[in-house]
Chains A and B, each alone.
Chain A
Amino acid sequence: MADWIPIALSRDVPVGITRAVIVDTREVMIWRGEDGVAQVWEDRCPHRGMRLSLGFVRGNALNCLYHGWQYGAGANCLRIPAHPDLTVPPTIRANAYAATETGGMVWMSSDSADPPPLLPALTPVITLAIEAAPERVLAALGGSTAEPLIGLPFAGGTLQLGWHRAHAAKTMLHATGAGADIAAATAHLRALRQSLEQEAAA
């Protein structure tokens, strides 16, 4: 997974929140501490495999629900409560992906050699889960799976849709639009989803 992938609307990950996302069958999680920076990690505590998306954010740290292991923004473990006096070895760390935000979306990459696309600030509309393969969804929208964004004409303007593959038969669309009528755009996208899912089920 060399490219940057949009995996959520930034709006849906406010400060203090964790969010679980499936990206190409992998369980990842997003969290945002008080410093406002979105982190994207494997959804798994290295201690006993607990999903970190069930953890809790305090300040700029994420705490695992199971044993309270505390991780800083750099993914290194800062504190193991069962051993309060222990200086945690730097080898104990969560598995972090490269993460950034642009165009009102959170993006991740496994290989961050290339910079992510730079987009203007866009108004978040909605994230939609569509029970259909990305190839089918993107073809129907006039886009391509080679590109992380699709422009969708709507009401005299254009919606920018980021997308990611949850698994082979499920597509996540992250819709944004500059100055779009959010209610109308949401209704339009929901209708689109319904027709795509009916077509996929046929």
Chain B
Amino acid sequence: MSLTDDRAALDQWYTLGALQDFPAGAEVPSRLLGEDLTVRRLTDDVEVRAAGRALPVRTDYGHLWTSFGTPERDLFELPESREPDRRWIHCGPVRVRASGLRLVENFLDLAHFPYVHTDILGSEAHPEVARYEVEQRRDVDELWATKCEFYQPKAAAASDEGQISKYMYRVVSPFNVMLYKTPPTAPDRWDVIALFVQPADEAVSVAHAFMLVIDLTSTDAELSAFQQMIFVQDKIVLENQRPSLLPLQPGRETPTRADLSSVLYRRWLKEKQLRFGTEPRTDLQSTDLPHA
């Protein structure tokens, strides 16, 4: 497989990992959108090259970002990264044999908590997903799901008891998503948990989870271990979805009201004419096919 010709996918920012994972002086191989890359970290500079070409680089939020194309916007805003009392926790990378779009969609999903994260993020006795709101914010080109609530037996590493957690979800680009969630110890603020997906190939992804949390008691290792445990549970599901690529063709899968955010996400991907990581469609005339 070689670099995709999908313009919508090329013109995006992608993370290649936490900066701390690229030791100074070393040349580290990586992969993005079907193409091999090399990352070289100099003293206070990072270089990303593909096929002899230097790619643009950003180092925001403790991560290394690059793009093959010309992103329409700069990297997303993350104001919580400027709050001094937040802990920065990196928990990744985890390699998953599935489309990165499947990873994002799973991240947006509340209904799987009782079954995949049983007695942690959900319990079989409380499976109901209450109505929540979704919107496409056209000024920033982001998707938001708000007013989400879910009963959680153990919402976070620092939880002693069950709680009704409040969530907001924010999709900032096709492969980058984050959630805001009430921390057990600071109910008036929001923990931020981000999932930055590095789509290595159409059906091979590297998940970089990143947290900006308010937690005075747990150690970094405990916080990271909690998130790792959750993600390993998700991995079992993600690698067993068929097809591995996200279907955008109507009728291929069956959403319900709980899947409102997924419905909006898929519509937004179609609007962008994104193809990388999606199942090839058979319902479009060839003239309708997005052409890169």
Q: Please give 16 more A-B residue pairs, beta carbons under 8 A apart, in addition to A48-B105, A49-B247, A66-B116.
A: A46-B253, A47-B256, A50-B237, A50-B242, A51-B240, A51-B241, A54-B236, A54-B240, A67-B112, A68-B115, A68-B124, A81-B115, A82-B111, A82-B127, A83-B128, A84-B128
A48 near B128: Cβ-Cβ < 8 Å: no
CB distance from A22 to the nearest CB of B (A): 12
Query: CA of A172 to CA of B235 in the docked complex: distance in angstroms?
Result: 29
Residue count of chain B within 8 Å CB distance of chain A = 24
Query: CA of A92 to CA of B256 in the docked complex: distance in angstroms?
Result: 11
Query: CA of A141 to CA of B74 in the docked complex: distance in angstroms?
Result: 66
Kindly report which residue of chain B lies nearest to residue A63, judged by CB atoms.
B115
Query: CA of A43 to CA of B254 in the docked complex: distance in angstroms?
Result: 15
Query: CA of A68 to CA of B112 in the docked complex: distance in angstroms?
Result: 8
- Verify if B114 is at the interface (C-beta below 8 Å from A): yes
CB contacts (< 8 Å) of A51 on chain B: these are 240-242
Of B237, B240, B256, most buried by chain A (CB within 10 Å of CB) is: B240
A83 near B256: Cβ-Cβ < 8 Å: yes
Beta-carbon contacts of A149-181 to B below 8 Å, as 1s and 0s?
000000000000000000000000000000000
Secondary structure of the A side of the interface? Answer: loop
Supposing A54-B236, A81-B111 touch, asked if A48 and B127 sit within 8 A by C-beta, the answer is no
Q: Which of B199-252 contact A (CB under 8 A)?
A: 236-237, 240-243, 247
- Verify if A12 is at the interface (C-beta below 8 Å from B): no
Residue count of chain A within 8 Å CB distance of chain B = 22
**Which of A27, A44, A68, A80 contacts B256 (CB under 8 A)?**
A80
- Verify if A65 is at the interface (C-beta below 8 Å from B): yes
B236 near A49: Cβ-Cβ < 8 Å: no
B242 near A68: Cβ-Cβ < 8 Å: no
CB distance from A23 to the nearest CB of B (A): 15
Kindly report which residue of chain A lies nearest to residue B105, judged by CB atoms.
A48
CB distance from A114 to the nearest CB of B (A): 30
CB distance from B231 to the nearest CB of A (A): 15
- Verify if B129 is at the interface (C-beta below 8 Å from A): yes
Supposing A49-B247, A82-B111 touch, asked if A65 and B127 sit within 8 A by C-beta, the answer is no
Supposing A66-B115, A81-B127, A83-B128 touch, asked if A49 and B256 sit within 8 A by C-beta, the answer is no
**Which of A43, A64, A82 contacts B258 (CB under 8 A)?**
A82
B254 near A84: Cβ-Cβ < 8 Å: no
Kindly report which residue of chain B lies nearest to residue A91, judged by CB atoms.
B254
Q: Which of A70-97 contact B (CB under 8 A)?
A: 80-84, 86, 92
Beta-carbon contacts of B59-91 to A below 8 Å, as 1s and 0s?
000000000000000000000000000000000
A65 near B242: Cβ-Cβ < 8 Å: no
B241 near A48: Cβ-Cβ < 8 Å: yes
Kindly report which residue of chain B lies nearest to residue A53, judged by CB atoms.
B240
**Which of A46, A66, A82 contacts B129 (CB under 8 A)?**
A82
